[in-house]
Amino acid sequence: MQFKIEKEVFLKALGQIQGIIEKKHTIPILANVHINAGNNEIILTATDLEIGVRSKFSTEVIQEGKVTVSAKKLFEIIRELPDRDIIFKSKDNCWIEIKCEKSIFNLVGLSSDEYPKFPEIKSSNLLNIKSSQLNEMIDKTIFSISNDETKYNLNGIYLKYEDNKLSMISTDGHRLSYNFMNISEEFSCFEKGSILPKKGIFELRKIINKDNENLEIGIVDNNFIVIDENTILIMRLVDGEFPDYKRVIPEKSGNKAIINKNEFFHALKRISIFSSEKSKGIKINFDKNKAVLTSSNPDLGDAREEIDVTYNGQEISIGFNSKYIIDIIQAIEEEYIEFHLKDNISPGMIEPEKNKNFVSVIMPMRL
CATH number for the domain whose boundaries are 2-114? 3.10.150.10
Please tell me the predicted confidence (pLDDT) of residue 30: 94
Closest to 361 (Cα-Cα) out of 249, 217, 232 = 249
Provide φ and ψ at 28, rounded to 5°: -55, -40
Q: Identify the CATH class of 126-169+181-243.
A: alpha beta
Q: CA 126 to CA 187: how far, in whole Å?
A: 9
Please tell me the predicted confidence (pLDDT) of residue 209: 66
Identify whether the C-beta of residue 196 lies closer than 8 Å to the C-beta of residue 237: yes
Provide φ and ψ at 144, rounded to 5°: -95, 5
Domain 249-362 part of CATH 3.10.20.580: no
Identify whether the C-beta of residue 334 lies closer than 8 Å to the C-beta of residue 318: no
Output the CA–CA distances (angstroms, integers) from residue 365 to 7, 254, 331, in the order listed: 52, 22, 22
Phi-psi region of 267 (alpha: psi -120 to 50; beta: other; left: phi over 0): alpha
Tens-level pLDDT at each residue, the chain (367 residues): 999 999 999 999 999 999 998 777 788 999 999 999 999 999 999 999 999 999 999 999 999 999 999 999 999 999 999 999 999 999 999 999 999 999 999 999 999 999 999 988 876 678 888 888 899 999 999 999 999 989 999 999 999 999 889 999 999 999 999 999 998 777 778 889 999 999 999 999 888 766 667 889 999 888 999 998 889 999 999 999 999 999 999 998 889 999 999 999 999 999 999 998 888 999 999 999 999 999 999 888 999 999 999 999 999 999 999 999 999 999 999 999 999 999 999 999 999 999 999 999 999 998 8
Please tell me the predicted confidence (pLDDT) of residue 123: 64
Please tell me the predicted confidence (pLDDT) of residue 68: 96
Please tell me the predicted confidence (pLDDT) of residue 187: 75
Domain segments of the chain: what residues? 2-114, 126-169+181-243, 249-362
Please tell me the predicted confidence (pLDDT) of residue 260: 98
Closest to 17 (Cα-Cα) out of 49, 55, 50 = 55
Please tell me the predicted confidence (pLDDT) of residue 278: 83
- Identical topology for domains 126-169+181-243 and 249-362: yes
Please tell me the predicted confidence (pLDDT) of residue 212: 64
